[in-house]
Amino acid sequence: MDRRRFIVLGTAGSVAVLTGCGGSDGGGMAAMPPTGTAPPPADPPVSNPPPATPVTPLTVGQPLNDLVRLANTSTTPNEFAATLVAQRASKAMLPGTSTEFWTYNSMVPGPLIDVFEGDTVRIRLENQLSQETTVHWHGLPVPPAQDGNPMDPIAPGASRIYEFTLPVGSAGTYWYHPHPHEFTAEQVFRGMAGLLIVRSRTDPMPSAIEETLLVISDLRLAADGTIPANTPMDWQNGREGNYVLVNGQYQPVLTINPGQSQRWRILNATNARYLRLALTGHTMTLIGTDGGLLRSPVPGLDEILLAPAERVEVIVTASLSSPASAVLRTLPYNRGGMGMVGSSSTTIPLLTLTYTSAVTAAVALPSALNSIADLGVPTTTKRLVFSSGMGMGGMGGGMMSFLIDGKSFDPARIDLTSRVNEVEQWTIENRSSMDHPFHLHGTQFQVVSRTRSGVTATEPYLAWRDTVNVAAFETVVLNVVQHQLGKRMYHCHILEHESQGMMGVLDVVA
Ligand code: C2O
Ligand code: CU
Ligand code: CU
């Protein structure tokens, strides 16, 4: 059975319920199996996240775990070699139950890959799942054939080696996750994602500033401890879980000394949850985005919006005195969507920051961090339109489609062509009532401006990004260059939208 068709059928059912033209009252079309196919499994109640099942809360208040580092098996200088195994692994999350995750090396999140600019990275992936998979090196300038494109799947039981060299200038906060055709959303929400840091040997931040890594992921657990499949509503809005985890833990505790500054690298590894991050009683200083450090720190931020797949580096300075504490929270953010999107109305605590009584002397931040060169004047332009809407479903019912330039992803089609090393200006127009985080593979871009309701805001500082939120009915302009030949994906990083076809192929040619 065709996989996409299955997804679409599921979606059609939910739209019928939502628009009231079918419904769960028994009579409508939602109750009728589609002609000529096995009926899809009975839909769970439509809502997102699912109704607050009285689920016993996970343990809160444990000390924050450090991420487990993937060991380097190479003894050659400037070389990093390791194996990732895509495999099922069970863990006790709710009392008396066991939760089966899909993991890298039995860890949620996956192990930390910590490498330096100039390193050659050689990672073997063994696929022990029953689905095809790939590993995508999100944000890194790796050759297209090594980038885990959906066109290069690793079959169940098979393995392959990914190999690439990290150029000087690529220091930043990246991540890796699966990217198989149509299965990315599921593999990520079942646990497959990990942080990848590329370090510079000349990082300007004082070494006295300790680093903390925060991988934020979403988990939905049913009362029996299992991770349920996506509902039809999830396929439209993007899945949000009923637990937001930090390094795989629920509301853990991090300590800080009065006066101390910490450098937090934060990854939004959720499928669809927007993180509007705020730390009670504190401001944050932004020092870096996806692809590395800013030119200079941006202090005094009360909140930072981190769309799915985005990363930031922030400095948190303990400005209170012992025994204070603070809570890192995600505030409500309306990203559009149908029905109830949980995160649009709820503030969720992520982590507690507790002051110790030891005092640390303040460390001044350097005023110059990184010499980001402006990409310069573009010599060509592209325009992309993101849209979603009701397609023509069976029996007059609608099904939701998520399209770029009116098309759904086809791995065999080339949608756009760019010349290597040519500066382009891309205009991304969102004509839908939902936010979509735009992501382009293979390079980092610079946002130029954002236009909403006819008002254009010029981007206040240069930053390297590979993902940018394009809010509902917003238009974002960015400059970009691709430095390697071959096929690159661009897509919405709400993974349910990506897996349903809100993705295209860019061919970079000579
Ligand atoms: Cu993080 Cu094409 O993905
Ligand atoms: Cu990517
Ligand atoms: Cu989207």
Residues paired with 85 in a beta bridge: 126
Rounded Cα distance between 349 and 290, Å, is: 24
Mean model confidence pLDDT for the chain: 89
- With a 6 Å cutoff on the Cβ, whether 488 touches ligand 1 is no
What's the whole-number mean pLDDT along residues 281-308? 98
User: Which pLDDT band, with edges at 50, 70 and 90, does 452 fall under?
Assistant: very high
Q: Would you state the pLDDT for residue 392?
A: 52
What is the structure's pLDDT at 440? 98
Question: What dihedral do alpha carbons 464, 467, 472, 473 form, nearest 10°?
Answer: 60
Q: Which residue has the higher pLDDT, 20 or 51?
A: 51
Ligand 1 atom closest to residue 498's alpha carbon, by position in its atom list: 2
pLDDT greater than 80 at residue 53: no
- At residue 55, the pLDDT reads 54
Q: Residue 112's CB: how many other CB atoms inside 10 A?
A: 18
Given this model, what pLDDT does residue 391 score? 62
Nearest one of 351, 321, 355, 328 to 253, comparing CA atoms: 351
d(CA 496, CA 388): 13
Q: Which residues surround ligand 3, an ion (CB under 5 A)?
A: 436, 492, 494, 497
Tell how far the Cα of 454 is from the centroid of ligand 1, in angstroms: 30
Distance CA 474, CA 273 (A): 19
User: Is the Cβ–Cβ distance between 321 and 257 less than 8 Å?
Assistant: no
Kindly report the backbone phi and psi dihedral angles of residue 4, in degrees, each rounded to the nearest multiple of 5, phi listed first: -65, -40
Query: Can you read off the two tokens belonging to residue 55?
Result: 């689920």
Task: Give dist(CA 375, CA 381) in Å, integer.
Answer: 14
- Residue 446 Cα to ligand 3 midpoint, Å, equals 21
Indicate whether 342 pLDDT > 80.
no
**Residue 179 CB less than 6 A away from ligand 1:** yes
Among 24-28, 395-399, 458-462, 496-500, the range scoring the smallest mean pLDDT is 24-28
- Rounded to whole angstroms, the Cα distance separating 136 from 146 reads 8
203-207 mean pLDDT:
96
Helix or strand or coil: residue 386? strand
| SS3 track for 82-97 | EEEEEEEEEECCCCCC
pLDDT grade for 399, boundaries at 50, 70 and 90: low
92 φ/ψ angles, rounded to the nearest 5 degrees: -80, 115
- Please report the pLDDT score of residue 26 as a whole number: 27
Ligand 3 centre and the CA of 476: distance in Å?
Answer: 15
CB within 8 A of 354, min separation 6: which ones? 253, 254, 255, 256, 323, 325
Q: Distance, CA 136 to ligand 2 centroid (Å)?
A: 6
Closest Cα to atom 1 of ligand 1: 138
pLDDT at 398: 54
- Give backbone dihedrals phi and psi of 468, rounded to 5 degrees, phi first: -140, 135
Q: Which two tokens stand for residue 359?
A: 């005092």
Phi-psi region of 505 (alpha: psi -120 to 50; beta: other; left: phi over 0): beta
Give the pLDDT of residue 56: 62
pLDDT band at 338 (very low <50, low <70, confident <90, very high): confident
CB count in 10 Å sphere of residue 356: 14
Residue 359's pLDDT is what?
A: 87
Nearest CA to 278 out of 301, 253, 248 is that of 301
